[in-house]
Amino acid sequence: MPVITIDAPPLSKEQKAQLVKSFAETASAVMNLPVSAMVVIIHEIQAENVGVGNILLCDRD
């Protein structure tokens, strides 16, 4: 059972559904496995929890 993990900013339910559908269908075709075998996990990451260089992402211009 392949597991696909996506780290992303907060998304709407519709965006999450579209990502899951797209990633699962593409991985299914590439791996020649049924789409039902795919597991997609979305980790939502707030900008205040990400540093780029020496500043928080939420503090960038």
Q: Tens of pLDDT along the chain (61 residues)?
A: 999 999 999 999 999 999 999 999 999 999 999 999 999 999 999 999 999 999 999 999 7
Of 45, 43, 48, 49, the C-alpha closest to 58 is: 48
pLDDT at 61: 76
Of 37, 41, 39, 59, the C-alpha closest to 50 is: 59
The one-letter amino acid code at 26 reads: T
In the chain the domains, ranked by start, together with CATH numbers, are: 3-59 (3.30.429.10)
